[in-house]
Amino acid sequence: MCTRFAAPILFRLPCNLQAHVSLFLAGEPDGAGCLIDQPERRFQLRSAYEKHNESLSMAAMILTAAFAIPAAAQNQVPFNGTFQGSDTVTPTPSIVTNATGTGTLVGKFSLFDIFTPTPSPDTGQWIAANGDSIYTTFVASAEFGPVVATITEIHTITGGTGRFTGASGSFTVHRMHVRAPSADGTHVTYGWFDGTITPPGATD
């Protein structure tokens, strides 16, 4: 609780009141006219200074992180589409996917994936109608139902050819694998993908 002081009184004050007024004048009033002694004032100023420095340091860190991101990564664009095709299960064992579809940037494309149940990443190739390719590595997981297996693949773009040379980005494939084989021994697969990629020519 602070002490408030009345307006100056123009007559001689007793010694103890004169001392009290001197303390008030030696300190600094706050917005409500309450006494703030010098040690407290110094503490407030130091706290404000430290908070200001912390804000400047945080801003510098954010700017440093922003400039550290390659320009191509900052300018990625959506990459998505749909496809359908077939899975061939080999004795290796591995699953080889051949499919066709339509996607952003690639238009009509063909897809060639090889999945093997090993710890190493699997590989994919996405080929546009004019032959330009996008290369990926991916990891996959599956949930098996009585009729279909639901497969999720996380793809990382590692490069490409033609207008996709030096491409980077990532996307997720969601697809179904029909467990019962077709007449030719392959398994029907279909799905979609979505993610981001550097636009064609961004690394030129």
Distance of CA 47 to CAs 40, 52, 189, Å?
Answer: 11, 9, 63
Q: What is the pLDDT of residues 136-172, one digit of tens each?
A: 999 999 999 999 999 999 999 999 999 999 999 999 9
Q: What is the pLDDT of residues 18-48, one digit of tens each?
A: 444 333 334 445 555 555 555 555 556 556 6
Cα–Cα distance measured from residue 122 to residue 25, given in angstroms and rounded to the nearest whole number? 78
Whole-model pTM: value is 0.64
* Helices of type H across the chain: 15-26, 38-68, 71-74
Please give the pLDDT value at position 33: 52
Q: Given the DSSP bridges, would you call strands 35-36 and 77-90 parallel, antiparallel or unpaired?
A: unpaired
Residue that the structure tokens 């996959």 belong to:
140
Q: What is the pLDDT of residues 106-122, one digit of tens each?
A: 999 999 999 988 777 89
Q: Which long-range contacts (CB under 8 A, 24 or more apart) does 170-174 make?
A: 170/195, 170/196, 171/79, 171/80, 171/195, 171/196, 171/197, 173/138, 174/150
pLDDT band for position 7 (cuts 50, 70, 90)? very low
How many CA atoms lie less than 13 Å away from 17 in the CB half-sphere?
A: 8
Q: What is the pLDDT of residues 47-98, one digit of tens each?
A: 665 666 666 666 556 555 444 445 545 589 999 999 999 999 998 889 999 9
Cα–Cα distance measured from residue 167 to residue 133, given in angstroms and rounded to the nearest whole number? 10
